[in-house]
Amino acid sequence: MIQVNNISKSFTGRSILKDINFTFETGKTNIIIGESGSGKTTLLKCMVGLNEIDSGEILYDGRSFFDLDFKGKKAIRKEIGMLFQGGALFDSKTVEENVVFPLSMFTDMSVEEKRDRANFCLQRVNLNNANNLYPSELSGGMKKRVAIARAIAVQPKYLFCDEPNSGLDPKTSIVIDSLIKEITEEYNITTIVITHDMNSVIEIGDNIMFIYKGEKWWEGNKHEILKTTNKEICDFVYATEFMKDLKEKFQ
């Protein structure tokens, strides 16, 4: 479980996050939604320690991240898996080497054990016969799957996904969403997903936080979000004609 308490962050005097509070539950897919520029990625970067916070605290199962020393922070980071928007795969390494990399850095596994674990993770994300390909030879969906395999290789307790569906076709998006959901439940991980994609929200969102202009505007689940009358959320959720039609149909 990750608790975010009263987080504020500003850049060069401009306030980006204002007093955010939220609890991200273990074994559930916690989704952060909001318009572009609302502060979602900044919140995620603060949570993983890539950005310092101005005030507040972030608790990883009770451990206050920013109060920890270098070793303590490093220990928490070893429990974090992250899926970046572009995949962030290492260009100079093959698919297998990318997945093996965190194992080589943090475990004393033999070469065989590491290869077996990498193959297991790659099979888990339905990626077979791609071990020797380089990231430049992969499609967008394959890159995301390799990134998920790399993230789960070290059996993380916390999984962060920054817009996992960006640049993917609807069918591949569903595959990635399903994978994230399955992995979260299978390994009892605390998963945090940032997305703009309402299909993902409805498909996998157990807990949802809506950020508007740097503030937590609303929280609830996927059933509640469809019923809410909050203007800002409705503007976001029913921005497309398809969603508007869907709403009218159900009403």
Partner 1 sequence: MRVFYHFGKYYLFIKRAFGKPEKFSIYIDRIFEEINILGIGSLGIVAIISVFMGAVITIQSAFNFESPLIPLYAVGVAVRDSMILEFSPAIVSLILAGKVGSSIASEIGTMRVTEQIDALEIMGINSAGYLVFPKIIASLLFNPILVVFSMFLGILGGYLFGLMAGVVTDYEYIYGITYEFRPYNVMYALIKSAVFAFIIASVPAFHGYYTSGGALEVGRSSTKGVVYSSVLILAFDLILTQLLLS
Q: End-to-end alpha-carbon separation of the chain, Å?
A: 36
Residue in 102, 140, 167, 220 binding partner 1, rule: CB under 8 A: 102
Q: CA 186, CA 176: separation in Å to the nearest integer?
A: 15
Q: What are the phi and psi torsion angles at 173 (to 5°)?
A: -60, -40
Q: What are the phi and psi torsion angles at 137 (to 5°)?
A: -95, 5
Does residue number 221 form part of the binding site for partner 1 (CB under 8 A)? no
Smallest gap from Cβ 106 to partner 1, in A, equals: 7
Which whole-number Å values give the CA distances from 55 to 130, 163, 169, 230, in the listed order? 45, 26, 39, 28
Does residue number 50 form part of the binding site for partner 1 (CB under 8 A)? yes
Q: Which stretch binds partner 1 (CB under 8 A): 73-81, 176-184, 195-203, 210-218?
A: 73-81
Q: Which stretch binds partner 1 (CB under 8 A): 24-32, 82-90, 120-128, 223-231?
A: 82-90
Residues 132-171 within binding reach of partner 1 (CB under 8 A): 160
Q: Which stretch binds partner 1 (CB under 8 A): 88-96, 173-181, 192-200, 213-221?
A: 88-96
Does residue number 78 form part of the binding site for partner 1 (CB under 8 A)? yes
Does residue number 75 form part of the binding site for partner 1 (CB under 8 A)? yes
Strand order in the sheet with 29-34: 80-83, 158-162, 190-195, 29-34, 207-212, 215-220
The residues pairing with 7 across neighbouring beta strands, listed in sequence order, are: 20
Contacting positions for partner 1 (CB under 8 A): 48-50, 73-75, 77-78, 80, 82, 84-86, 88-91, 102, 104-106, 160
